[in-house]
């Protein structure tokens, strides 16, 4: 196994364990409260943002991955990460102290942006070699969504401090 391959597999494992750990924690938060606090929302959005940052690290390196199975694994874990966020957000969205217009990215709802990314990655699972050629576009799209959640949590932090 090449040195670069070991690092890529480390990043895959890191993302996978991060998502699994935080999925469980966030489900407990959502299921145990009728209304999420600002702190809960901040925590959730920061975890969403961080998981997408970890995803961008994998996407960034995908051009250098020679093994098709590793490219498929990157596509699968990226798809699972985006699906987790996409399907968790509606449970959070209904109880967070944020207005719906704050959940827009590029004039569309964040769920639509996540759905588009999910479709892209699902296609790449079937054709993993394509990841090398579209990695720049995917990197930008995932990074934008990651920054969206990071920005949203920063706005909420400022609101919490001022109140």
Q: In the 8-state DSSP scheme, what is residue 117? A: H
Element (H, E) at 104: strand 104-105
Kindly tell me if the per-residue pLDDT of 162 is higher than 60.
no
Q: Give CA–CA dist 38/71, Å, rounded.
A: 38
Would you place residue 108 in the very low, low, confident or very high pLDDT band (cuts 50, 70, 90)? confident
Q: Which of 24-38, 65-79, 92-106 has the lowest mean pLDDT?
A: 92-106
| Strand partners of residue 104 | 109
The SS3 call for residue 107 is coil
What's the whole-model pTM score?
Answer: 0.89
Would you place residue 157 in the very low, low, confident or very high pLDDT band (cuts 50, 70, 90)? confident
Q: Give CA–CA dist 29/89, Å, rounded.
A: 13
Where exactly are the structural domains of the chain?
3-154
CA-closest candidate to residue 105, choices 95, 97, 117: 117
pLDDT digits (tens, 9 = 90+) for 125-134: 999 999 999 9
The string over 18-43, giving b where at least 16 C-beta atoms fall within 10 Å of a residue's C-beta and e elsewhere, is: bbeebbeebeebbeeeeebebebbbb
């Amino acid at each position: 196994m090449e040195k670069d391959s070991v690092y890529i597999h480390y990043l895959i494992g890191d993302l996978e364990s991060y998502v699994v750990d935080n999925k469980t924690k966030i489900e407990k938060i959502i299921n145990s409260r009728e209304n999420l606090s600002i702190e809960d929302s901040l925590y959730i959005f920061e975890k969403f943002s961080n998981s997408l940052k970890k995803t961008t690290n994998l996407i960034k390196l995908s051009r250098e991955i020679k093994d098709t199975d590793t490219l498929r694994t990157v596509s699968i874990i990226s798809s699972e990460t985006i699906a987790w966020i996409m399907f968790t957000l509606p449970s959070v969205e209904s109880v967070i102290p944020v207005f719906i217009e704050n959940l827009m990215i590029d004039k569309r709802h964040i769920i639509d942006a996540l759905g588009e990314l999910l479709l892209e990655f699902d296609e790449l699972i079937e054709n993993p070699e394509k990841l090398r050629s579209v990695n720049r576009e995917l990197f930008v799209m995932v990074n934008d969504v990651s920054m969206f959640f990071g920005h949203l949590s920063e706005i909420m932090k400022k609101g919490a401090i001022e109140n």
